[in-house]
Amino acid sequence: MSDGTGMNPPEPPPERDSRDDEAAERGRAMIAAAVAQTRAPLTLRERIAADAAGRDRPGRPARRRRFAWPAGALATALAAVAIAFVLASGGGGPTAVAVAQAAQAGPTHGAPPVDSSHQDLLARAVDGVPFPDWSGHFSWRASGERSDTIEGRTTRTVFYSGPSGAHAAYTIVSGNALGVPAGARARTVHGVELHVARGGAGQVVTWERNGHTCVMTAPASVPTSRLLELAAWDGGGTVPY
Amino acid sequence: MTDPSRLLDPEALGDHLDRLYRAAWALCGRREDAEDLVQETYARVLAKPRRLRGDDDLRYLLSVLRNTFVSRHRTAARRPQTVPVPEDRELADRRTATRPDAAAEAHEVFAYIAALPDDFRDALVAVDVAGLSYAEAALLLGTKEATITSRLHRARARVARGMDPDREGVL
């Protein structure tokens, strides 16, 4: 600022220490990197969901069922997913998205029992391809099942619920494998090739087991990495692929 | 006259979990404490219906998180402190980190932020870790945006110098 005499030059602003600016920028970048690589662990999600589930008590006004199968919402989401799968064909039979949409109608029966003679399997199978029992390893439990016939193919779907309240529908399609979805992203987990499509609030994973197509459908809130891990899990060899 | 407030949707709380977890880690400095803090925060929020104005769910959750942290901190200060076992570092977020070295670095960064003076730490947590705007952070922390800007600048520099002290001699 001038002193008003017109004789002295204005006082220069205090010089900013360039080392401070450089350090601040480095600090910002370090923090950004730490933030980018950090996500809440699944154990925390599960703990919070368990707490939330415990708050539902008889006598209280009924809350919306937290993990009720969101048929309408997910069906809408699947319309977006269908874009990725729309080119799926070539193996004959229904498309993966048709299979997934059928599963959205929700379970018609209760949870299938565990196979008492085979650890890590449920007592349900399609053409000899059994459904896994994830309760021991992942704490995901079978919660219901349904069966459909789509374009001449029988499908059986088992519904699973995770400890955090996440849920997924696992369908095995009878007969030969369906065509590989052309628009989906390919991933390989534990040697199993999977195809993933996401859209809106839903996601669909397809893969093959013993020449049969499996389709898993879940809300987008379920980490895709978790779905892939579940899909590719072989129980140390007890779940046939 | 219509009430502009709305009920906080418990189903939507999961959308903010990652941000809250990072913020909690940067407040506590330890992953295990962060998990406990976030769980307690959610428990408080879910204890009864919450009515909010606008769509500032995250700022509301962060305020509960911070209050819970302060409350826990006061309680913990009256208890004997436990010493973390060395294996803690190996366990750092191993289910989500893609590189062990990166996980270790995140561990160090959050621990360093937690050790900053409260005002600096809170500004960093609100803006750089949780992702609030300067204006939102100012509201959350009850101060001016200019103060947030100043604290952020100094806090970031402290983190850089603390994490990489050798580099200062090069300049």
The residues, any chain, with a CB within 8 Å of residue B66's CB and separated by 6 or more, are B27, B122, B140
Predicted pLDDT of residue B85: 34
Please check the confidence at residue B124 and state whether its pLDDT lies above 80: yes
Partners of B105 on chain A (C-beta within 8 Å) are 30, 33-34
> Chain A: nearest CA to B152, how far in angstroms?
8
Of A20, A40, A66, Cβ closest to residue B21: A40
Predicted pLDDT of residue B35: 86
Partner-chain contact A31 B113, CB within 8 Å: yes
- Most confident by average pLDDT, A11-20, A173-182, B10-19, B135-144: B135-144
Please check the confidence at residue B101 and state whether its pLDDT lies above 70: no
Please check the confidence at residue A59 and state whether its pLDDT lies above 90: no
Report the range of poorest mean pLDDT among A85-94, A180-189, A216-225. Answer: A85-94
Pick the residue of B61, B159, B164 with the most A CBs within 10 A to test the interface with A by mutation. Answer: B159
Predicted pLDDT of residue B9: 73
Q: Which residue of B has its CA nearest to A39?
A: B18
Of A23, A28, A35, Cβ closest to residue B161: A23
- Most confident by average pLDDT, A60-64, A76-80, B58-62, B73-77: B58-62
Partner-chain contact B157 A24, CB within 8 Å: yes
Report the range of poorest mean pLDDT among A29-43, B16-30, B93-107. Answer: B93-107
Q: Which residue has the higher pLDDT, B143 or A19?
A: B143
Predicted pLDDT of residue B63: 93
Partners of B109 on chain A (C-beta within 8 Å) are 30-31, 33-34
Partner-chain contact A44 B14, CB within 8 Å: no
Please check the confidence at residue B76 and state whether its pLDDT lies above 90: no
Q: Which residue has the higher pLDDT, A202 or A87?
A: A202
Predicted pLDDT of residue B14: 75
DSSP helix/strand/coil, B15: helix
Partner-chain contact A30 B155, CB within 8 Å: no
- In this prediction, residue B168 has a pLDDT band, given cuts at 50, 70 and 90, of low
Pick the residue of B61, B109, B171 with the most A CBs within 10 A to test the interface with A by mutation. Answer: B109
Pick the residue of A18, A38, A56 with the most B CBs within 10 A to test the interface with B by mutation. Answer: A38
Please check the confidence at residue A108 and state whether its pLDDT lies above 50: yes
Question: What predicted TM-score, i.e. pTM, was given to this entire model?
Answer: 0.49
Q: What are the CA-CA distances from residue A57 to residues A53, A62, A234, B33, B122 (Å)?
A: 9, 8, 37, 29, 37
DSSP state of B116: S
Please check the confidence at residue A203 and state whether its pLDDT lies above 80: yes
Average pLDDT over residues A87-104: 68
Mean of all residue pLDDT scores within chain A: 76
CB-based burial, A57-94: b 16+ in 10 Å, e otherwise: eeeeeeeeeebebbeeebeebbeebbebbeebbebebb
- Residue count of chain B: 171
DSSP state of A109: B
DSSP state of A141: E
Partners of B124 on chain A (C-beta within 8 Å) are 31
Predicted pLDDT of residue B46: 82
Report the range of poorest mean pLDDT among A38-42, B42-46, B87-91. Answer: B87-91
- In this prediction, residue B33 has a pLDDT band, given cuts at 50, 70 and 90, of confident
Please check the confidence at residue B36 and state whether its pLDDT lies above 50: yes
Report the range of poorest mean pLDDT among A97-111, A227-241, B100-114, B125-139. Answer: B100-114
Of B35, B99, B110, Cβ closest to residue A34: B110
Q: Which two tokens stand for residue B47?
A: 């204890």
